Every structure is written in C-alpha cells, then in structure tokens.
C-alpha cells in the first residue's frame, strides 16, 4: 500500500475516534498487512506533519490520539467556559444525606445555604401570629414547635 494513503487512513481513524487507539487496533485497519513498526513510523510522520497546527498527535498509555495544543487551549476555553453546576434544593438535601449519612430537612438546608434560620413548618406560621420558635429541633429531622409566647416550662 502507498505510504501516503496509509497515513491518510491512520489520520482519519485517529481524528474520528473519541478514545486513544492502540497500534494493534490501527494494524487491523489494514488487515494486518502492515506490521507494527511500519504503523509506528507512519504515526511519527503524522506527528511531524501536525507540528505547526492547532492539534498534535500524542502517544498516551492506551494508544495514540489527537489533542489540542497547550498554546491554543485557552482560546477554546473562552468559547465554552465551564460554569459551576447549579443544584436544586432537593439535590442539595440528597447530597447532604449521602455525605453526612443522616436525614436533613429543608429548613436545616436553608440555614446552611441561605444563612438564616427557618425551622420546618415555620414558613406557614409567619402569617398566623405564631412568631416565635418555642423549641428548636433536638436532632436532625425532628420538628420544631412554634407559638406566640415563650414556653411556660423552660
């Protein structure tokens, strides 16, 4: 096979692949008509051909792949900046349960995420003259009692 044609086939396979390709896999493109040393030589030629372009051909642990050059990477990052993920309230509660292995109520989550104390059930009590938390929850998941006066037996 013509070496230029073989290089074109290798180049197309590597550009279209999502993952690195091992030399053995690349040999299968040619029905094992080309041995590993010839494939490696062709890959080195391809590497030299791509020296002054935005991509580079590199050999990694699992094979060969094309990747963006370091001097071009910052321009591409401006095009698609990574934003921190925004998690919903339910997701945050689930993550808290997983991380701390204990139940967390929505009110407890609001204390940590929004910086003010809202006890479970207290949001609905604001409009009904129940303006004081008589007893905060003693453990995670326990309800608090609300009222409009201080508790009699303290």
**Could you read off the pLDDT of 114-152 as tens digits, one per residue?**
444 544 554 554 455 545 555 666 666 666 555 555 555
> Structural domain boundaries of the chain?
3-70, 105-154
Cβ distance 46 to 9 under 8 Å?
Answer: no
The CATH code belonging to domain 3-70 is 1.10.10.10
Q: Percent of the chain beyond pLDDT 70?
A: 65
User: 3-state DSSP call for residue 105?
Assistant: coil
pTM of the model: 0.53
**Could you read off the pLDDT of 20-48 as tens digits, one per residue?**
999 999 999 998 788 899 999 999 999 99
**Could you read off the pLDDT of 14-27 as tens digits, one per residue?**
999 999 999 999 99
Q: What is the DSSP string of 34-46?
A: S-HHHHHHHHHHH
**Cβ neighbours of residue 52 closer than 8 Å, sequence gap 6 or more:** none
């Amino acid at each position: 096979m013509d070496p230029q044609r073989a290089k074109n086939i290798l180049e197309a396979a590597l550009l279209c692949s999502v993952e690195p390709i091992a030399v053995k896999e690349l040999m299968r493109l040619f029905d094992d008509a080309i041995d590993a040393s010839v494939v490696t030589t062709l890959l080195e030629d391809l590497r030299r051909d791509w020296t002054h372009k935005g991509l580079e051909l590199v050999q990694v642990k699992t094979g060969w792949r094309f990747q963006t050059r370091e001097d071009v990477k910052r321009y591409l990052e401006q095009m698609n900046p990574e934003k921190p993920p925004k998690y919903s309230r339910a997701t945050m509660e689930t993550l808290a349960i997983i991380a701390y292995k204990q139940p967390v109520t929505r009110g407890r989550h609001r204390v940590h995420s929004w910086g003010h104390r809202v006890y479970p059930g207290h949001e609905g009590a604001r409009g009904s003259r129940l303006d004081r938390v008589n007893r905060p929850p003693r453990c995670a998941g326990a309800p608090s009692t609300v009222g409009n006066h201080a508790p009699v037996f303290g």
